[in-house]
Structure 1
């Protein structure tokens, strides 16, 4: 994935969760493109209201949310009301007639609505929102965008490595352990320390993404070695052979 930083490229937001997370608090941008209508006495919208805002079919929003459910859930940007909580909500706010008898209700926060705009590719309104975020207000510098691109490339390469382990690794370790062992092999080759040691250096716990703390240059080196490991797995090499191959060519990384 390459990005020409001289062009206005809003699609980086559809590719990089890192960038979306950085910009999702800028939900006031949406009103500058088109006024956001929320449910009275709330700051939330329904799926239908989100579809109306972005001028796309209702099913488009439903499908996008379903495809990215975990991302919305991570930040509490969507909630589903049923039973008593739904009855209480209906008693407190004014709803459209067709929603008054609905057995459940999906509510999206303003930040969730902005996240939809950063993910939605088939909406001119969404394109305008992304354009405004990245170009008009210059919220993201070229360095920030390039940082996000590098992280996205690293994420794709990591997926390539996990896929290679799943499909071609023939040793006795489980897939998860094999990934940890091979990742430590990469870090030791480049930094002479394993993942745990790097986390201690950066002062982060195991739930934080270690790669976000690496410099762009170090991240590129990690990606280069992981691509090599993936290729060696494809050739049927085992852990010992991969370790030997990497160390024999250490000066190339």
Structure 2
């Protein structure tokens, strides 16, 4: 889907939190700047020249988006830091239209941030277009162009998937032993779990992610979501057994659904559901360009830690993980339990 970086703070921050995209941008955009304390910084005069805007325009954005720009590296130099910066003598206007006792400087990240905000600058518009291309190129390079199963690059995925499979077996066994009805009950109660956690049934979820009909949904879920599903499955299996044993008979599907409705309201699940919805909505929009409309209120920027998790050095394809003897040993221990 088309991204308007001038309007969406989430989309802006998703780029700024992606250090792999920033590295490529700094290498290829050639924006200039000066080195100070180990990083590239820009004075206000340099930013004005770069984006072909007025000082008043820059000041207006500093006033309207000050917190965002500061969080991404805009800072005021004073005292010893300012003297140190002036001593570098890069041939720039160090006073930069401010009092000599203070000087505002933009980090490379803050300069990109401002470029994603400026609506009245053609160079900024061009920069936004190039940034979006760089993000796509970086994603393709690091995950081989396939984001549908990017969740599997998480080093925690395999363990979570195997644990969930074990609890899934307990869940289906409990449905078989303690609930009346045909095989449709398995799909029915599975959808109840999905709807409770992320407000979508299996068919709706596959449509959002553009999955093939026979794709196993669990192969696309993040490890945190799998763990929560496993908790549901384990807990519901226990409750079904307790009530059925107490009654001395199988439960009707209506009774089982009533039990589930009570189970999902347990306060234990509230923070876990909030976390799962936030991660799922935010990551899918960022990494998979998939919008879960029913979870739109939960969308946040993807953290730098998540970019490391799915794009970083520790992230590996499922095939690579399964070829690792240590990983296989861990999986074997879990499976033998």
How far is 1:134 from its partner?
Answer: 2.5
Q: Larger radius of gyration, structure 1 or 2?
A: 2
TM-score, normalised via structure 2 length: 0.40
How far is 1:46 from its partner?
Answer: 0.7
What is the root-mean-square deviation in Å for CA atoms of aligned residues? Answer: 3.8
Q: Does 1:133 align with 2:131?
A: yes
SS of 2:120's equivalent in the other structure is coil
Q: Aligned residues, how many? A: 162
Alignment of 1:178-217 (within 5 A): 193=265, 197-201=269-273, 211=278, 213-214=280-281, 216-217=292-293
Query: CA separation in 1, counterparts of 2:294 and 2:67?
Result: 29
Specify the alignment match of 1:171 in structure 2.
none
The 1:93/1:67 distance shift into structure 2, 3 A limit, reads same
Q: Is the contact between residue 69 and residue 114 of structure 2 (CA under 8 Å) also seen in structure 1? A: no
Specify the alignment match of 2:117 in structure 1.
119
The 1:89/1:222 distance shift into structure 2, 3 A limit, reads closer
Specify the alignment match of 2:5 in structure 1.
13
SS of 2:12's equivalent in the other structure is helix
Q: Is the contact between residue 30 and residue 129 of structure 1 (CA under 8 Å) also seen in structure 2? A: no
The 1:128/1:30 distance shift into structure 2, 3 A limit, reads farther
Q: Does 1:88 align with 2:88?
A: no
SS of 1:119's equivalent in the other structure is coil
Q: Is the contact between residue 94 and residue 103 of structure 2 (CA under 8 Å) also seen in structure 1? A: no
Q: Is the contact between residue 40 and residue 108 of structure 2 (CA under 8 Å) also seen in structure 1? A: yes
Query: CA separation in 2, counterparts of 1:67 and 1:104?
Result: 20
Q: Is the contact between residue 74 and residue 110 of structure 2 (CA under 8 Å) also seen in structure 1? A: yes
The 1:201/1:30 distance shift into structure 2, 3 A limit, reads same
Query: 5+ residue gaps in structure 2?
Result: 141-146, 148-260, 285-291, 300-337
Query: CA separation in 2, counterparts of 1:195 and 1:130?
Result: 43
Which of the numbers 44, 48, 52 marks the counterpart of 1:47? Answer: 44
Q: Deviations over 1:191-228 (max 9, x none)?
A: 95499843234658xxxxx64544814325989xxxxx
SS of 1:81's equivalent in the other structure is strand
